[in-house]
Structure 1
């Protein structure tokens, strides 16, 4: 039986591996691609305490599949108190058995399974002994004068550093002398050296330990954080998994690594030798400058740039590529959140199979009626440019998927509506993300009372959420969008160089983790960021490129190819930057010589780092001297070389115009877009995040028949084109796809809502009855006017979270209009609509409207509207009554500000169908 199961898992995982790596064509059925599981939203799946069992796994996985999820990402964490006897030790035989059951069950339901290569975060655990744990640089200073001997042994003084190793001892004299005293240190730590003259500052360099433990670890996952910079340590870490797996594939599609949150890990045992090998000089001779007080000294900035580049290399080769190679041997792929790492994010994202971005907090969208509470706003909003680091790595590497951890701390607990989720997801799509992971879902057994087990930092995408009966509306929307956004290849014309050496060339600090929360320090002030924002707003599409990526790029038919499977780029843009490697500049000129078009916003001024500085400066200047530009119109200078062209222009958009690279003028309307190209044409994804409804003709840079595709309703139709402009109608908060094909064969026209005619206000009486929820089902209500059900007389309604069904009827004198639109106006928070017993669909987001003409009839019509509200009022009631519901180990449960959670002081959240409800005829 096991052999049979293993063979099936091996086959499955082999297929999974090949599909994840390949640019597999997406199958179409009619107008929409066939929905495959990777197109549906997936969710991070917390196994609290690993207290999972087959019976409950069977139940919850079916609920996930029925709700439209495509897969789960197992992340074991700390557990709930009182359930310790059900805990399974991570990677134990019992845990492995339950993993096998999970994979088998998920497969039968059409779900995929990913797995964190660890518990909690970051990577670490019991297999990581102090010698393999995250390492930091420790220095100690001593002073000796002529004739003095050191009267103490050279041993680390910091507490709990039993495993610290002395790696260098450097003496600095008053006249600039630098002496290596490491060989003078005896086995007992005494120094066998006495200065003959002068005064000397002596720096001892130790490799110490951060002593960081795995955060939010699950049972069996506790232990020190891994030294990600050391290959031997990474190998030791991964061996535990290989042993538990028996070296065989487990049916895991992808192994996952969360954002790099390895605090204070500034060193590794091999750092000095790697630095000398790669930078060409001895870092031990510069320890005083490296660890001294922050300075504006340019050479210290250069030294630290070299140090940071070495960190980058160690992390890339010893961890990221090493881990990915390990996963491939198990016929799985890797999914990595590289942000937060002290390295070049583009290369770190690019070294894995599925680069993953992250959204944290909420963005501001001027969509009328969209709630954004002041208490929910974090210090830094999600930034689409930051997300493009992950999608760029996918696009330039020819990888099919770019994922995102989505909705982390979108709002305070229990207050997140689907309406708030939608524009955040759309912003990710616009940034090139096409594989959304919810953050997230906690496994919760049926015998745990409501609200079940919950994770402290997530929106509650689980069956205990009162919104869950309507989650398929959101899930289906995302699936339709991703079915197209995973089709074909990205269609971005520009490649923008990211000047990482300008980022690294700072005298302040030591290592430089490039965090999502710190983008206002390392990203926002840069010319690179400002240019990216301007080009995006003006209607250009682009990806980012690193030095390493440019080094491997070639030119084919005057276009820049970054990999064999990636879509090519028409132009490389180099933003204004101070520092550039001579080798990178030479490669850029080589690309131009081979036929590429290059635009410099400004020429680089200097080389980074200290190594062989003057020789490299001479090399850079020699290359720059070959760029003999001639003047041109609009301040654009040009240099022709080989079959290509180099332009120098402060105004990059003017330079693009001069070489016929056209922007998409549709952004002038306020619409945002992203394009995908297929064998037959192109897709445009259009989103209206403005405050206004848009009804206009759009000029597109692609010709052909235009098919309008509505991912909300799945309706399609041929667009009206007049004077080469495509008419689109998008209300604030809506989105559409345009499918442009030169040989399109679609026939049915899109029905536009042209002239609004008469309206029917559904202001008659409504009956309201409650079918599901708690803490108690309220009594039926008869409403003469639609109001929040929390304002009604029944005291149970203020505490109620669940489902209410509104029923009524209305009269339609005659059915003569071309279309009729139902407008629910205010809904708290989602509605499912039936007209005359036929389901219209789930109206789960602003503007809560639907076309209903095909469901109406002349005469009397019935309407049923099922509404679900937030969990907030029920939680508030429990906290007011001090009913215990949160009782976890470790962090337990906190609010958005990481304080103890308490909803007892909340205001009651409006709930139900508030309206006014109307039906408008259109001709």
Structure 2
């Protein structure tokens, strides 16, 4: 019997990108990988510097990108390079639109996709944003009335003379008896005369403008930032694009919005009216509580209401409004919610493709992985932060989860594939399945090395010495994403994210929920601790918001937050300080309809400043009605309510079992298609894992798939109760995909395990190194070595400065046993190696573990070996700076290092380049 599965993903504009999970069998042999689509391939942000683009260079670059395996590009116009101003195209001008149309046409010819930032630089803004629609802020000035004081001048206090003038909209008097009332009518010529004797304090409320302009704007895109909270402002902004394009938009896939970096914008012209309508009281009479940082109950409640209102206005007036506009044009939206003053889950969930971001470099205890503290930022990306985007996608029925990947992974020109892979795998483990490189800079052919480069990106351009070795890295991503985009996520638990606890922060007014401050709003919470503990125990979780709980339904005892979402087995409520009555009512409704709900503790209180006692009483009565104040478990309708300080025993009692993969130290994420499951598994540890690993499935067989080289084989497995026990061998840094099936296809060979070598033989040879003509700055002389050595630090200055390709050639003798399998093992590669044995291409080695299966290529007797190695750009950049050769000359930010200081590579040490250590051949029984 041969089981077959279809994994072809449609590349249309439908809302459902994946396959129907209810269909159990399709007609593509199970021995094949999914048919490749452009969405499976990595995409990249494409910096258009100065929009200095032309047809000839565009055609050349697109061909290059397609050649190395880039599936699509997100066009982002930004500032330009000095000296090329005559090539600049003004944003949205007719020549710019013509260039865009040509680009889209050529991309489609190459089966590449195009997304477009709806503006230049970031955030949204530009010359079409008039002052009245620019980002706004609230200014509150307090005046204490001294005893006997008769007059008071009301004048806006500015930090400096460049601050915009605010408009005084309200003047609130606070009186001795506690009364607060509007006294604006007493104001004449900005003065209060005849101050009432019982007036203690005056608060002046201004609406002003932040004055922020577009950051890194392209020519023609300079101007004020948009007021994202105003529907009128947003509509005027997006309608300016309708006018510029005359409603004739090119066939791009999606419009894109970057992370919310609108600084100080915390108000809008109609904010007070919106607040009163939504929260039930007038904010201007609670200004003392809003600006207080003393943490008392009244202050926290007003701040929470204020932040909730900002969140709603952002979602409704900007995110949803913008997405509906794009949909009317036949386009999708791709959006980064992080950094917003709003509920991240709901903002991510309001667009077609939620996008997260990796910023900085994580520590992985993988032996041999280079991590120089001088070349990394002092940040540590948290995969749980990435799960806000993937959770929102999973729970709102969207399949694609994108990620702006490798932002400031390391210092410029020093990031290798081996450093990129574990960071990349961590994003996959968090639910990302649509990687965007950050990024590729449009660099014309006539611009000398290193071409145009962006100040904060990985600088993956055709000038990068890694470029011709990039296809293998991209193929790894493509294979992995082809699986991670198939079917549905298979996460069994929902964890409630208590946004109202975040909004209860006693400090400040607006609460920006950013990537860079997770130590404040995320890490200390019970939500974070419990989610991390659950995942480490083997459970797969998604995070759910109040709104998502309110719209969820129950189907056969499982919770479905959306008709296209995965069914989940339970909803977990960690310890929370604040939960709205409406959310609690929705939770009880889910239980009534058959869901399992597990509370870690009774929520402490309800949020908000309106009708507090009434809402507290409602909540208290509902809780008493459940009986959880007396029992740890009660039946509720068709479902069940459980109170348990620890989630694990409660889940076990309900027979909601974890995967046991984590017990081996491996990390995983899983997808499902019908009865089959796909597990993406990574070893991020310092030691190898070679053992039986238990998978929670009724399947009877396991197919192991290697996304590095595409090999597939049937693994050793046996059923073990509720689990399928599969033997895995994974070296540190290695990743595999395990597909569990009822019966493996007869077409699939047995998996070859390279776990216990019978012998290990060192390749002893004389090596000749020759250098490629496409490297530089100069082509070094050939080198000869008696042992395997780098080409750097050999006393040859030209070799030390060289970045590009070098080829190692030699011969060696070997006693071959045809009944054995063989691997070629490198001690160290700086940074990627393509291997030929006996004239046949054997493969590429670019990441730990540095191992290549050479069984098919090795022969008895003398063997010829050729190894093409590429190094990093760093040594050549060092040469430029040491010799004062100008290469960085840009408008605005010019070029900075990882610490945002002026870039200078002249004091860098030479980066090791080539091969070093030992070259070994390991022998295994087949």
Report the TM-score range of the alignment, normalised by the length of the smaller protein.
over 0.9
Q: Indicate conservation of the 8 Å contact 2:700/2:718, yes or no.
A: no
Residues 87-102 of structure 1 aligned to structure 2 (within 5 Å): 87-102=88-103
* Structure 1 residue 242: Cα displacement: 1.2
Aligned to 1:752: 753
Distance 2:718 2:146 in 1: 88
* Structure 1 residue 249: Cα displacement: 3.2
Distance 2:376 2:664 in 1: 28
Aligned to 1:3: none
Distance 2:186 2:383 in 1: 54
Distance 2:625 2:248 in 1: 56
* Structure 1 residue 258: Cα displacement: 0.7
* Structure 1 residue 157: Cα displacement: 5.5
* Structure 1 residue 142: Cα displacement: 3.3
Distance 1:337 1:796 in 2: 45
Aligned to 1:181: 183
Q: Indicate conservation of the 8 Å contact 2:339/2:514, yes or no.
A: yes
Q: Indicate conservation of the 8 Å contact 1:213/1:225, yes or no.
A: yes
| Distance change in 2, residues 1:245/1:174 (3 Å) | same
Aligned to 1:841: 843
Q: Any idea what the Cα deviations from partners look like across 1:383-402, whole Å, max 9, x if unmatched?
A: 00000000000000110100
Distance 1:148 1:754 in 2: 87
Q: Indicate conservation of the 8 Å contact 1:37/1:110, yes or no.
A: yes
Aligned to 2:7: none
Secondary structure class of the residue paired with 1:169: strand
Distance 2:199 2:705 in 1: 78
Secondary structure class of the residue paired with 2:737: strand
Distance 1:20 1:85 in 2: 43
Aligned to 2:85: 84
Residues 715-794 of structure 1 aligned to structure 2 (within 5 Å): 715-722=711-718, 724=720, 725-746=725-746, 747-771=748-772, 772-794=774-796
The range that moved more, 799-808 or 678-687, is: 678-687
* Structure 1 residue 153: Cα displacement: 5.4
Aligned to 2:4: none
Distance 2:164 2:423 in 1: 48
* Structure 1 residue 235: Cα displacement: 1.0
| Distance change in 2, residues 1:755/1:360 (3 Å) | closer
* Structure 1 residue 16: Cα displacement: 6.2
The range that moved more, 275-284 or 857-866, is: 857-866
The range that moved more, 156-165 or 100-109, is: 156-165
Secondary structure class of the residue paired with 1:773: coil
Aligned to 1:712: 708
Q: Any idea what the Cα deviations from partners look like across 1:704-743, whole Å, max 9, x if unmatched?
A: 3210000001000111114642111111100111111124
Aligned to 2:696: 701
Secondary structure class of the residue paired with 2:371: coil
Aligned to 1:8: none
* Structure 1 residue 816: Cα displacement: 3.0
Distance 1:265 1:631 in 2: 47
* Structure 1 residue 815: Cα displacement: 2.6
Question: TM-score, normalised on structure 1?
Answer: 0.96
Distance 2:344 2:629 in 1: 36
Q: Indicate conservation of the 8 Å contact 2:301/2:608, yes or no.
A: yes
| Distance change in 2, residues 1:603/1:852 (3 Å) | same
Structure 2 gaps of 5+ residues are 1-9, 21-25
Tell me which of 642, 666, 676 is aligned to 2:671.
676
| Distance change in 2, residues 1:723/1:289 (3 Å) | closer
Asked if residue 245 in structure 1 is aligned to residue 241 in structure 2, the reply is no
Aligned to 2:620: 621
Distance 1:684 1:154 in 2: 64
Distance 1:754 1:335 in 2: 43
* Structure 1 residue 110: Cα displacement: 1.1
After TM superposition, what 4+ stretches of structure 1 lie above 6 angstroms from structure 2?
none
Distance 1:357 1:28 in 2: 33
Distance 1:149 1:241 in 2: 54
Residues 497-516 of structure 1 aligned to structure 2 (within 5 Å): 497-516=496-515
Q: Any idea what the Cα deviations from partners look like across 1:623-668, whole Å, max 9, x if unmatched?
A: 1111213988xxxx20111110111101101111010011011101
The range that moved more, 457-466 or 92-101, is: 457-466
Aligned to 1:802: 804
Aligned to 2:220: 220
Q: Indicate conservation of the 8 Å contact 2:413/2:874, yes or no.
A: yes
Distance 1:761 1:156 in 2: 76
Q: Indicate conservation of the 8 Å contact 1:248/1:330, yes or no.
A: no
Aligned to 1:533: 532
Q: Indicate conservation of the 8 Å contact 2:388/2:543, yes or no.
A: yes
Distance 1:403 1:282 in 2: 40
Residues 58-77 of structure 1 aligned to structure 2 (within 5 Å): 58-77=59-78
* Structure 1 residue 287: Cα displacement: 1.3
Secondary structure class of the residue paired with 1:35: coil
Aligned to 1:267: 267
| Distance change in 2, residues 1:230/1:351 (3 Å) | same
Asked if residue 254 in structure 1 is aligned to residue 254 in structure 2, the reply is yes
Distance 1:326 1:782 in 2: 64
Aligned to 2:171: 169
Q: Indicate conservation of the 8 Å contact 2:376/2:411, yes or no.
A: no
Aligned to 1:207: 207
| Distance change in 2, residues 1:64/1:451 (3 Å) | same
Q: Any idea what the Cα deviations from partners look like across 1:732-789, whole Å, max 9, x if unmatched?
A: 1001111111243244211122541233311210111011310011111111111221
Aligned to 1:906: 908
Residues 482-631 of structure 1 aligned to structure 2 (within 5 Å): 482-629=481-628
Question: TM-score, normalised on structure 2?
Answer: 0.95
Aligned to 1:448: 447
Q: Indicate conservation of the 8 Å contact 2:18/2:485, yes or no.
A: no
Aligned to 2:58: 57
